[in-house]
């Protein structure tokens, strides 16, 4: 038999015929093909919906840190495993503020003391997170951070004492009645006036916090020197990582290596993004197991198709079809199954992602889901690859059938 060259028009005609025959085979075996495609749909939908959580979380974290500003440096105690519990090696104190302010490139350093305290309102009590911040620097600090905006009222000023600013979740949900300006709260037997309500930031931790003057926080808790974290800033955002290294060196020289975490907002965002990307890969890998099962289903479908079409293969070979032609027919069929499953799976996965996003939002969680064009492309391409790889062995078996034996097959 004469081997057809690639330039032969008959070759192109056969390729078109291969696609038609593959599509016809899928239509003739609707139930079996549908069950096989469902396996692909489940796998791709699971991958896209789960990975979209990691992608959305990563995007959300970056947005939050961008609002903080590229010139910020966060200093906090390092936490290490020791003696069977998670504990910090050192605590920040007021003396460390002076050390940090003397570092070249540092413009300001704001101490923050954070505590969980019991808050009483209208006879009901709740444990809430409260941040103590210097009133002299508070207004400048909050105006510099875009995520903290007032819905009503004002921030604490110099001279304020028993006053608080409430986050949006605290104002709406922490008590039976919504908190408003000039309402009174009791914290540590002291009466506080609400002077401000924050707009919703989308970050449940920030929205569930209250702010009061640092000196007042020290007065009611008895913490005279402790600082939970320090928020420093530089004038040159392009030099912020180098300034962060200088701050870390100063603290290491005094307290020992790795006593404190010193990170620019971009570094901190990158660390968290690495964790979320790892989470996305793990979730995608778990969902990918279902694709492996789907691949086995495709292989099984293709083997059954070969048995049913053995005589047909013999006829095609007897009239001039080559091994490559037969291989092509079955590979195209497997690829089409993978493509159909991938497209439907991507659609279902996108819908599931939206439903998950709505559910997370209804529970007040800051996590979002994001389905990017790249994720859809990868998902559909992956399903086609799974289809092709799963159909490869059955297709090779079909292409190697002896035409005479195939014609005799009943």
- Confidence category of residue 408, pLDDT binned at 50, 70, 90: low
- Judge whether residue 13 has pLDDT over 70: no
Query: 43 Cβ partners below 8 Å, 6+ apart?
Result: 287, 288, 290, 291, 293, 294, 341, 345, 383, 386
Contact criterion met (CB below 8 Å) for 75 and 230: yes
Answer yes or no: do 332 and 401 share one domain: yes
What is the pLDDT, as a whole number, of residue 4?
45
Answer yes or no: do 110 and 243 share one domain: yes
How far is residue 116's CA from residue 128's CA, in Å, rounded to a whole number?
Answer: 5
Helix, strand or coil, per DSSP, at residue 32: helix
Instruction: Say if 217 falls within a structural domain.
Output: yes
- Judge whether residue 320 has pLDDT over 80: no
Q: Which of 410, 393, 395, 392 is closest to 310 using CA atoms?
A: 410
What is the pLDDT, as a whole number, of residue 241?
86
Instruction: Say if 16 falls within a structural domain.
Output: yes
Contact criterion met (CB below 8 Å) for 314 and 407: yes
Total of domains in the chain: 2
- Confidence category of residue 366, pLDDT binned at 50, 70, 90: low
Lowest-pLDDT range of 4-18, 129-143, 340-354, 392-406 = 4-18
What is the pLDDT, as a whole number, of residue 165?
92
What is the pLDDT, as a whole number, of residue 327?
81
Residue 19 corresponds to which tokens in the numbers above?
Answer: 């696609």
Average pLDDT of every residue of the chain: 80
For residue 60, give its domain range.
Answer: 9-64+272-408
Answer yes or no: do 238 and 309 share one domain: no
Instruction: Say if 71 falls within a structural domain.
Output: no
pLDDT digits (tens, 9 = 90+) for 77-96: 876 434 434 445 578 888 88
Share of the chain above pLDDT 70, in %: 86
pLDDT digits (tens, 9 = 90+) for 202-216: 667 778 889 999 999
What is the pLDDT, as a whole number, of residue 347?
94
Q: Which of 75, 148, 152 is closest to 106 using CA atoms?
A: 75
Q: Which of 366, 379, 264 is closest to 57 using CA atoms?
A: 366
What is the pLDDT, as a whole number, of residue 388?
85
List the Cα angle 368/371/376 in 5-degree steps.
160
Helices (H) and strands (E) in the chain, counts: 13, 14
Answer yes or no: do 84 and 169 share one domain: yes
Answer yes or no: do 225 and 118 share one domain: yes
> What DSSP string describes 180-241?
-TT-EEEETTEEEEEEEEEPP-S-HHHHTEEEEEHHHHHHHH--SSEESEEEEEES-GGGHH
- Judge whether residue 7 has pLDDT over 60: no
Q: Residue 367, CB half-sphere, CA atoms under 13 Å: how many?
A: 18
What's 89's DSSP letter? S
Of 211, 236, 258, which one is at a domain's C-terminal end?
Answer: 258
Of 207, 227, 258, which one is at a domain's C-terminal end?
Answer: 258
- Confidence category of residue 404, pLDDT binned at 50, 70, 90: low
- Confidence category of residue 141, pLDDT binned at 50, 70, 90: low
How far is residue 309's CA from residue 154's CA, in Å, rounded to a whole number?
Answer: 79
The residue-averaged pLDDT of 31-36 equals 84
What is the pLDDT, as a whole number, of residue 130?
93
Q: Which residue has the higher pLDDT, 13 or 152?
A: 152
């Amino acid at each position: 038999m004469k081997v057809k060259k690639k330039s032969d028009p008959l070759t192109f005609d056969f390729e078109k015929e291969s696609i038609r025959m593959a599509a016809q085979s899928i239509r003739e075996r609707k139930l079996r093909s549908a069950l096989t495609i469902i396996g692909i749909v489940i796998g791709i939908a699971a991958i896209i919906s789960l990975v979209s959580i990691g992608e959305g979380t990563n995007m959300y974290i970056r947005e939050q840190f961008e609002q903080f500003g590229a010139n910020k440096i966060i200093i906090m105690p390092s936490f290490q495993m020791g003696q069977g519990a998670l504990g910090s090696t050192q605590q920040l104190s007021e003396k460390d503020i002076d050390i940090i302010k003397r570092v070249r490139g540092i413009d300001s350093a704001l101490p923050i003391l954070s505590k969980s305290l019991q808050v009483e309102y209208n006879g009901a009590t709740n444990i809430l997170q409260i941040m103590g911040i210097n009133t002299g620097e508070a207004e400048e600090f909050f105006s510099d951070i875009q995520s903290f905006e007032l819905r009503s009222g004002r921030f604490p000023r110099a001279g304020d004492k028993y006053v608080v600013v409430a986050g949006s979740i605290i104002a709406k949900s922490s008590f039976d009645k919504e908190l408003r300006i000039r309402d009174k709260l009791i914290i540590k037997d002291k009466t506080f006036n609400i002077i401000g309500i924050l707009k919703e930031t989308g970050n449940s931790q920030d929205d569930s916090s209250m702010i009061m003057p640092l000196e007042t926080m020290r007065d009611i808790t008895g913490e005279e020197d402790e600082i939970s974290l320090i928020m420093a800033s530089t004038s040159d955002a392009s030099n912020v990582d180098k300034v962060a290294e200088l701050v870390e060196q100063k603290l290491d020289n005094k307290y020992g290596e790795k006593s404190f975490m010193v990170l620019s907002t971009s570094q901190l965002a990158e660390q968290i993004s690495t964790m979320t990307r790892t989470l996305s890969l793990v979730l995608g890998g778990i969902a990918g197991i279902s694709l492996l099962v789907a691949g086995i289903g495709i292989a099984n479908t293709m083997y059954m198709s070969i048995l049913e079409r053995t005589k047909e293969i013999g006829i095609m070979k007897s009239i001039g079809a080559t091994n490559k032609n037969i291989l092509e027919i079955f590979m195209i069929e497997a690829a089409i199954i993978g493509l159909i499953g991938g497209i439907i799976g991507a659609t279902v996965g996108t819908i599931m992602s939206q439903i998950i996003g709505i559910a997370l939002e209804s529970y007040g969680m800051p996590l979002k889901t994001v389905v990017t064009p790249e994720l859809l492309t990868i998902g559909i391409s992956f399903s086609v690859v799974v289809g092709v790889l799963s159909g490869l062995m059955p297709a090779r078996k079909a292409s190697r059938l002896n035409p005479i034996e195939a014609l005799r097959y009943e």
